[in-house]
Every structure is written in structure tokens, then in C-alpha cells.
Amino acid sequence: MSDTPPDAASLAQPITAIPISLLNRLARERLEAAFPLCWVAGEVSNLSYAASGHVYFSLKDSSAQARCVMFRSRAQLLGWRIENGQHIEARVLVTLYEARGDFQLSVETARQAGAGSLFERFLRLRDKLEREGLFSPAAKRPLPAFPRRVGIVTSPQAAALRDVLSTLERRAPQVGIVLYPSPVQGEGAATLIARAIESAGQRGECDVLIVCRGGGSMEDLWAFNDEAVARAIRSCPLPVVSGIGHETDFTIADFAADRRAPTPTAAAELAVPETRALLTRLTTLRASLQRALARRIEGLGQQLDWLARRLQHPQEIIARRRQILQQQDKDLRLGIRQALAQAAGELADCSRRLSINRPDPAGRRVLLERLAERLAAARQNTLLDKQNQLARLAAGLAHLNPTAVLARGYAMVADEQGRLVRDSKTLEPKQRVAVFLGQGRFAARVLALQHDDGQAPDGRTIASSCHPD
């Protein structure tokens, strides 16, 4: 066969069969050539983030859907995370995946265009029930530690049921299982799921209830986003574990359940403990209990031996107590005698001190009269001494009185400023002075000055008489 690909006309003549790979390549080339890059709008469903970083999902509207792939290099540049139920607009290249012959859209970039209708309904119902307190953590019931029977609400044909049964058989084969069959997809499935949950609660034959379903698109899981299912879960008297879809799938039933598991298998693991782990723990607890019991018995034995050594015959105890009482009687008698002797000595000492310090009014009165006489004599003597002293001081003061001196013929001279003249050197010739006598005073003028040697300041002899001007 030639390596040159045949054209459409040659393909119309079925002479030679061509490989499927060649057909798919030709179809891809024709699609990519016929449809340039364009923008398409739709709702995201069947979303999957691969470990390689590529993103796989479907874009759908009310009547059709198309597979999409967004490679890692493009997804890293997006700046936001694509989620199921989102309504987006994507710039795509129409192509065909040759390996499987699948028609798909290669997404170059995308922009958010608002949530899809299903997702909007999901958000509205979630917000409504949350405001009512239906999802409150305080209303969550604890799961039983050792359930004896587990109820399962799911479809008998669901693969999730096989996964749950195999997990329960492996972990706890002794636990009973009750199936409450119900469709998990399609028209009216939500009503039947709610009835199955109500039936399980009314019958009360299980300890815990599992509501489960395998993975799928948002439309496939929509029966578990129904208000009736959420209210049936909360009104059920049994604790409910939800295991719906995959780890990234969230439904209203997950919020209403007492525990949410990422998968049906994980729900079965949450509902029952593993028997082997319980047996291992039981063995460990039994060994610990045996060791604790052995230590307790050993301790009690030692305590019994100690008490046995302390155990005595009652007669020995009575004899020892009698000796103690006798000794205490002797000590008491001796103490009383010593206390009486001490009290007698203290009484005699007090009597002696009382007799020494007893009051004597008559003697005290005589002593008081003598002291009064001595006080009067001392007062009289002191008064005479003070009078004599006062007379001596008065005489001395009269002797020093300047007026008395002047009365004997002396005089005092004062200058114009009223200062007493004690030295002739402080005066000037013709200086006016005041002369004070024993009776009166007069003014005078200095005619001449004479010092102690009888000479004037200029060496002349001064006459002994002074003449006024």
C-alpha cells in the first residue's frame, strides 16, 4: 500500500481496506481543518483531574454533550479551578482522539459564565437546609462502636453494593446485613430512596444505615440532591453513613448524613470495625488485664503477710493496754502531787509578799505631816533668800543708774547726732554739743580740745576754763 493517504473520492471506492488508525487520522485532520478555534458554552459534568495534570470533562446543554480535554500546560494557566455544574465558555479546537476514535474538544482556555441550572438548584437547596440547621454538627449522631447489624440503602444491581458487601465480609463477617432496595438513578428515584430510609428507621432492625451509590455525573447523582432524601436521613432514628460517588462528589445527602465517606467502600469501613483489629486489641487488653490482675494479687498477698505479722492475741493487747493505763495512773498521781506542792509554794510566797507590802495608814499620815512641815519651812527659807537677792540686785542696779551718777555732779556730753562723747579726739573746735546734768541740760560750743597729756592737737597748752562765744 502506498504511504500517500487516499482522498475522499478514492475512499468511496471500496477496493482496498484501510486501517482504522488511518481513518481516524484522516477524520481528525478534516475536523481540525473544517473547524478553526471557536468558543463554545455549556455546563461542566463528569469532571476528572488526572495525575498527569490533564483535565477531562464534558460540556453539555439541554440536548447534547461533548467530551473535552484540557492539557496540563493549558490548565496551569487557567487561574481558577473547574468544578462540576459550572457553566463555562471554552475556546476549543474540534478534533478526534485517534486512539479510541472519540470526538472531543481540545480546550485552549476557558472563562466562567455562571453556574449551570443543576448546580444552581443544588446551591439553593443546600443554603436553605443549612439555614434550617439540618446540617448542624450538633445534630450529628455518633456511630455505634460494635454494630451487630448493618442496613444498606442502594440498588441491588449497583456495583457499589458489591463493594460494600465484600468490604463488610472482609472486615466483619459476623455482622448481619439488611438490604433496603431502591433505585439510585432516574425519575422518582429520590422518593423511593427516602421511603427506603424511612422504612429502615421504622423497622429498627439495624444499628447503622449506609446510603451508597457508585460514581457518575451530576445528573446521575441527582437523586441524592433531593430535599426529601435529606429530611429522611435527618429524621431517621439510626445513624446514617453516606458513600455516594467518588471523593470529589458532594451531594445534599452527604451534608445531611451523620458521617460522609468518599466512596461506598469507605462507608462500609466507617460503619463497622475490622474484626482482626478488634481481636488483636482484645488480645492486647486481655494480656494487660492478666498482668494487672497478677500484680494486684501479688500486692494483696504482701499486704496480707504484713497484716498477719501485725495480728496479735486479744489478751496480749489487753495486757499491754493495762500496763499503759497503770503507767498513766502513776504519772497522773505524781503530776497532781507536784502541781499541789507548786501551788502551795506559790501561795506562801504571795502571803509573804502581801504581809511585807500591807498598807500602814497611821504611819503614812505621820510621814505626810512631817513632809508638809519640811515643805513649809523650805518654802519660807527660799522666799527669804530670793528677797535678799532681789535687794542686792536693786542696790547694784541703783549704783549703776547714770542719773544717780549725774546727781553726784557729773555730766554727759553728746554730739549733734546724739552720740555720747567718750573721747575728745572725736570732737572738732567750735562743734556744738549737748551737756546733760543731774537736773536738766544745756547746749555748748567747743572752744578748745585737750587730750590726756593736757596739750591741744597743735601742741599748745589749753586753759582749764572755757568761755562761751
pLDDT of residue 6: 53
Could you tell me if 377 and 445 lie in one domain? Answer: no
The three-state secondary structure class of 102 is strand
Q: Give a yes or no: residue 351 inside a domain.
A: no
What is the C-alpha end-to-end distance of the chain, expressed in Å?
183
Identify the residue with better confidence: 2 or 125.
Answer: 125
Could you tell me if 209 and 262 lie in one domain? Answer: yes
Could you tell me if 69 and 20 lie in one domain? Answer: yes
Could you tell me if 290 and 300 lie in one domain? Answer: yes
- Helix/strand/coil (H, E, C) string of 375-440? HHHHHHHHHHHHHHHHHHHHHHHHHCCHHHHHHCCCCEEECCCCCECCCHHHCCCCCEEEEECCCC
Point out the least confidently predicted range of 44-48, 79-83, 230-234, 369-373.
79-83
Q: Give a yes or no: residue 107 inside a domain.
A: yes
DSSP strand pairing (86-97 vs 102-115): antiparallel
Could you tell me if 384 and 420 lie in one domain? Answer: no
Cell of 410: 557729773
> In which band, very low, low, confident or very high, does the pLDDT at 440 lie, cut at 50, 70 and 90?
confident
pLDDT of residue 466: 44
| pLDDT of 105 higher than 90 | yes
User: Please, what is the Cα angle at 38 between 36 and 44, to 5 degrees?
Assistant: 130
CB 222 within 8 A of CB 188: no
- State which residues form the domain around 432: 411-469
Could you tell me if 164 and 234 lie in one domain? Answer: yes
Reference 239, options 215, 207, 274, 264; nearest CA is 207
- Mean pLDDT throughout 329-333? 91
Distance CA 23, CA 29 (A): 10
> In which band, very low, low, confident or very high, does the pLDDT at 469 lie, cut at 50, 70 and 90?
very low
Could you tell me if 100 and 12 lie in one domain? Answer: yes
pLDDT of residue 3: 47
pLDDT of residue 457: 55
Last residue of one domain, picked from the residues 115, 138, 163 = 115
Q: Which residues, other chains included, contact 145 with Cβ-Cβ below 8 Å and sequence gap of 6+? A: 273
Helices (H), 101-158: 117-131
pLDDT of residue 456: 53
| pLDDT of 429 higher than 60 | yes
pLDDT of residue 419: 86
pTM: 0.45
| pLDDT of 350 higher than 70 | yes
Q: Give a yes or no: residue 346 inside a domain.
A: no
Q: Give a yes or no: residue 366 inside a domain.
A: no
CB 44 within 8 A of CB 116: yes
What percentage of the chain carries pLDDT values higher than 70? 92
Distance CA 309, CA 306 (A): 5
- Mean pLDDT throughout 69-84? 87
The phi and psi torsions of 143 (rounded to 5 degrees) equal -80, 145
| pLDDT of 9 higher than 70 | no
> In which band, very low, low, confident or very high, does the pLDDT at 13 lie, cut at 50, 70 and 90?
low
Distance CA 45, CA 281 (A): 45
- Mean pLDDT throughout 81-89? 88
pLDDT of residue 44: 92
Q: Kindly report the number of other CB atoms within 10 A of residue 206's CB atom.
A: 24
Could you tell me if 221 and 105 lie in one domain? Answer: no
Alpha carbons within 13 A on the beta-carbon side of 209: 30
- Mean pLDDT throughout 453-457? 54
pLDDT digits (tens, 9 = 90+) for 278-300: 888 888 899 899 999 989 998 88
Q: Give a yes or no: residue 279 inside a domain.
A: yes
Edge-to-edge strand list for the sheet holding 432-436: 412-414, 432-436, 441-445
pLDDT of residue 463: 44
Q: Give a yes or no: residue 190 inside a domain.
A: yes
pLDDT digits (tens, 9 = 90+) for 150-200: 999 999 998 889 999 999 999 989 999 999 999 998 888 999 999 999 999
CATH of the domain at 38: 2.40.50.140
Could you tell me if 59 and 154 lie in one domain? Answer: no
Last residue of one domain, picked from the residues 273, 292, 317 = 273
Identify the residue with better confidence: 110 or 116.
Answer: 110
- Mean pLDDT, all residues of the chain: 85
pLDDT digits (tens, 9 = 90+) for 187-240: 889 999 999 999 999 999 999 999 999 887 777 888 999 999 999 999 999 999
CB 30 within 8 A of CB 6: no
Could you tell me if 246 and 152 lie in one domain? Answer: yes
> In which band, very low, low, confident or very high, does the pLDDT at 392 lie, cut at 50, 70 and 90?
confident
Q: Which residues, other chains included, contact 246 with Cβ-Cβ below 8 Å and sequence gap of 6+? A: 215, 262, 263
| pLDDT of 10 higher than 80 | no
The CA-based dihedral angle spanning residues 177, 181, 186, 187, taken in that order and rounded to the nearest 10 degrees: -140
pLDDT of residue 455: 53
pLDDT of residue 242: 94
Number of domains in the chain: 5
Could you tell me if 294 and 396 lie in one domain? Answer: no
Q: Give a yes or no: residue 345 inside a domain.
A: no
Could you tell me if 283 and 268 lie in one domain? Answer: no
Q: Give a yes or no: residue 150 inside a domain.
A: yes
| pLDDT of 314 higher than 50 | yes
CB 284 within 8 A of CB 181: no
